Amino acid sequence: MADYAYIGKKMPRVDTRAKVTGQARFTADLDLPRMLVGKILRSPHPHARILNIDVSAAERLPGVKAVIIGAETLGRKWGVFRYTLDQQMLTTDKVRYIGEDVAAVAAVDAETALAALDLIQVDYEVLDPVFDPMAAMAPDAPQLHDDFPNNINIHVPIEVGDVEAGFKKSHYVREDTYAAPEDSYFQAEPYAVVAQWDLDGNLEMWMPNAGPHMKSKPLSNLLGIPLNKVRVRKIAIGGAFGGRSEISPADMICALLAKKARRPVKIAFTREENSIATRQGHALTTTIKTGVDQEGRVLARDITCYMDGGAYSSTGPIATSVPFLCMEQAYRMDHVRYNGYRIYTNKPIRGMIRMHGRGFACGVDTQLDLIAEHLGLDPVQIRVVNARQPGEYTNTGSLVASCAMQKTIEKAAEKARWADKWGNLPPFHGIGIGTNSVQTGFPMGIRGGSQAIIKFNEDGGATVISGVVDNGQGNDNMLVQIAAEELGIRPEDIQLVTADTEVTPSDPGSYSQVSTFIGGHAVKLAARDVMKKVLLTASELLNADVGDLVARDRMISVKGDPERAIHIKKAIRMGLVKGRAPSGEGAYWPKVDHKREWVQNPHGQMCGAFSFGTTICEVAVDPETGQVTVLEVTAAQDVGYALNPLVLEGQFEGSVAMGGQGGMLTEEHVWKDGAVLNPTALDYRLPLAADMPPINAIIVESVDPDGPYGAKEAGMSIAMSAAQAYCAAVSNAVGVYFEDYPITPDKIVRAIREKQAKEN
């Protein structure tokens, strides 16, 4: 491996100081001159027709500067895909979930804005709702959208090979059903958006987002203004986890209020609004039928998955496909059939989430454990037998160029002392393993690639301009680290300009786990482009070949002769004299099959690379209370190449918290008649720092041929495999395989008592 100055080294993130001192500014912190407070009137009904809206009393209230309703919009609908355009950001005809946006006001303060909402009169015709996706598909069920019969938003059918023949050849076949309710992102930062217009009709906006270019284009379409009139600005972001990947109704509403009031407007959600008026993870029910040979090798799988999509499409085709794709990437199969259904219900909208598909991923691995038990195999053995290997193709036709899945299994098992503990733990102690895979980028059309620009200043400092956004995972640091390495300067010499649609080039955002693989790659290429010019000048000054020069620690020297060296700023200044502008550009697009489509053609190269993760969890269960104490977690992921091990360890820990500690033990929304009963952190049961167990982080490197320095996605494979490992560990401790998640104390106590009753 090359002797890098910064790449592969542990270094504190460049944004650490601002965040720990409280100097980082989030959207809710913005305070523009003459700024108004925006508030949104939300539907109290899960399903109703809007007959009339009277805002006259609200408009007359002193201090109110603007009131808007859906009739004042262009009436255009939003959907991530053309065939899923189904959502008005401010509805005009019907409300389809409790909390849907009906009207909005902008006033001089929050008290006035809330008083104005109380004065808006809305006449509704209440309609029958449907909350269960299975009931929603019935012929006589209430229809949410006329264009989607039986409330089926998306159906993703995938079939490869001869599944029935595979079952006939199998030594053992079993079928099981698994389920999990909705889960929430619960970002530390509730959603907030600020908008202002200038006299030339230019819109400027700040909001949490996973990609500013993925916000500006929808806003341009919905507002009917040119794209160059919409500027989405960078701001500190308190987490995304998949929940800030697309436009929010609040974005368009805030823009309309600001335009009508002719003053800046800020809308900041309450914690309750952040639960009901932003995206959630899908509830889903999955039936899995698997056939294996005598060695436990999977010959055939038939999977049917029903996902509760809520009221609108959102990222429907992607969300319906991803659980299956993660499974087919992780495990080899000869024959497979998948039918994924995303169903409309009168609940808030569902989208992508970091540990997507608890009821799917945990189902696949729980069933593997059941099969292993039947065959007398160790859970580690059956995963090694079926583990994806490098150079193979997935069932849907993606080449897996780099893969260290088997190594993650083996290293995690060794560190966790699996061989010593499996079958030898005390009563009500358990150990479990989970494995998973995640895509690094997938087809996103013209937004699939990233561009970057780098320019040197005459004093040797540099500015990096990139569309990559940092949602808290360390992307800013990643860009600086790559630029410093390639430019031969120090991180403190670099000024970073990112995530501003007016200034930075196109980028997919931190969506589809692609920031390092694509955005980092573009910065690396831009750095090499500018260094061609700088090194050419240096070669003339040093009387040496360009290929013999090396840039490091602000100096350019001749290899093997460090005394022949000049400061990089001298090369830059002399280059300017010679008419060589010290700037460079770089762009990178992943090698994907652009003919591949989520529904019509789910075959071909899916993405540029795949990450693979294994988590092992050890627990103790109190049989009287059902309380689970997590004793230790070991997480190993194939990250391609670790650009900054310190950041990766933090990603692993966050993934264990979200996917395992919270996702499998406590997190779920509780509903009554379409209303969420636990919208705040007081009742939703997020894991706290005090709840977290010791975590062994193991970085496994496979060096991807297309990733920058060999790097690829790092973190999400752990989130999903942690959910699987926690599930397996609790099942092992109790002696009962759980099929309904999360595994809460009441379910554990019930399972123990039922098991004891059967034994007696």
Is 445 a residue whose pLDDT tops 80? no
Of 546, 565, 588, the residue that ends a domain is: 588
Tell me the average pLDDT across 732-740.
Answer: 97
At residue 500, the 3 state secondary structure works out as coil
Query: What residues make up the domain containing 553?
Result: 16-22+444-588
Let me know whether 632 and 754 are in one domain. yes
- DSSP string covering 576-604: HHTT---EEEEEE-----TT-BTTTB--S
The answer to whether position 412 is within a domain reads yes
Q: Which of 105-114, 172-181, 235-244 has the lowest mean pLDDT?
A: 235-244
Q: What confidence tens digit (pLDDT) does each residue in 629-649 have? A: 999 999 999 999 999 999 999
Let me know whether 582 and 460 are in one domain. yes
Let me know whether 468 and 438 are in one domain. no
Is 398 a residue whose pLDDT tops 90? yes
Residue 107 is part of a domain; what is its CATH number?
Answer: 3.90.1170.50
Let me know whether 564 and 460 are in one domain. yes
The answer to whether position 368 is within a domain reads no
Is 687 a residue whose pLDDT tops 60? yes
Let me know whether 461 and 544 are in one domain. yes
Query: How much is the CA Rg of the chain, to the nearest whole Å?
Result: 27
Is 740 a residue whose pLDDT tops 80? yes
The reported pLDDT for the residue numbered 357 is 82
Residues in contact with 500: Cβ distance below 8 Å, sequence separation at least 6, in sequence order? 212, 231, 232, 233, 234
The answer to whether position 467 is within a domain reads yes
Q: Which among 478, 750, 439 is positioned nearest to 610, based on CA atoms?
A: 439
Q: Using the 8-state DSSP alphabet, how is residue 211 labeled? A: -
Tell me the average pLDDT across 519-531.
Answer: 97
Let me know whether 203 and 101 are in one domain. yes
Residue 511 pLDDT level (bands cut at 50, 70, 90)? confident
The answer to whether position 133 is within a domain reads no
Of 276, 298, 330, the residue that ends a domain is: 276
CA–CA gap between residue 641 and residue 645 (Å, rounded): 9
Is 549 a residue whose pLDDT tops 90? yes
Q: Which among 320, 705, 234, 717 is positioned nearest to 507, based on CA atoms?
A: 234
Is 277 a residue whose pLDDT tops 70? yes
Residue 509 is part of a domain; what is its CATH number?
Answer: 3.30.365.10
Cβ contact 276:101 at 8 Å: no
In 10 A of CB 12, how many CB atoms?
A: 12
Is 326 a residue whose pLDDT tops 90? yes
At residue 179, the 3 state secondary structure works out as strand
Question: Tokens representing 416?
Answer: 């966790």
Q: How many domains does the chain have?
A: 3
Q: Which of 141-145, 209-213, 694-698 has the lowest mean pLDDT?
A: 209-213
Q: What backbone torsions phi and psi does residue 255 show, to the nearest 5 degrees?
A: -65, -40
The reported pLDDT for the residue numbered 245 is 83
The answer to whether position 297 is within a domain reads no
Is 1 a residue whose pLDDT tops 70? no
Beta strands in 397-449, from DSSP E residues, in sequence order: 429-440
Q: What confidence tens digit (pLDDT) does each residue in 671-685 have? A: 999 999 999 988 998
Peptide bond into 181 cis (omega under 30): no
Residue written as token pair 């027709």: 49
Q: What confidence tens digit (pLDDT) does each residue in 229-246 have? A: 999 999 999 888 888 888
Let me know whether 392 and 462 are in one domain. no
Residue 128 pLDDT level (bands cut at 50, 70, 90)? very high
Let me know whether 659 and 740 are in one domain. yes
Let me know whether 510 and 435 are in one domain. no
Q: What confidence tens digit (pLDDT) does each residue in 402-438 have? A: 999 999 999 999 999 999 999 999 999 999 999 999 9
Specify the amino acid at residue 568: I
Let me know whether 672 and 549 are in one domain. no
**First CA to last CA distance, the chain:** 61
Q: What confidence tens digit (pLDDT) does each residue in 284-323 have? A: 999 999 999 999 999 999 999 999 999 999 989 999 999 9
CA–CA gap between residue 697 and residue 633 (Å, rounded): 9
Let me know whether 94 and 78 are in one domain. yes
Is 186 a residue whose pLDDT tops 90? no
Tell me the average pLDDT across 244-263.
Answer: 95
Q: Using the 8-state DSSP alphabet, how is residue 344 labeled? A: E
The overall average pLDDT reported for the chain is: 95
Segment (H or E) for 537 = helix 521-542
Cβ contact 56:130 at 8 Å: no
The answer to whether position 302 is within a domain reads no
Strands 450-456 and 462-466: antiparallel
Of 546, 572, 588, the residue that ends a domain is: 588
- Cα dihedral across residues 32, 259, 90, 50: positive or negative: positive
Alpha carbon 386 to its chain centroid, in Å, reads: 27
Let me know whether 117 and 220 are in one domain. yes
The reported pLDDT for the residue numbered 153 is 97
The answer to whether position 11 is within a domain reads no
The answer to whether position 324 is within a domain reads no
Q: What confidence tens digit (pLDDT) does each residue in 53-69 have? A: 999 999 999 999 999 99
| Alpha-carbon dihedral 129, 132, 137, 141, rounded to 10 degrees | -30
Cβ contact 729:430 at 8 Å: yes
The reported pLDDT for the residue numbered 30 is 96
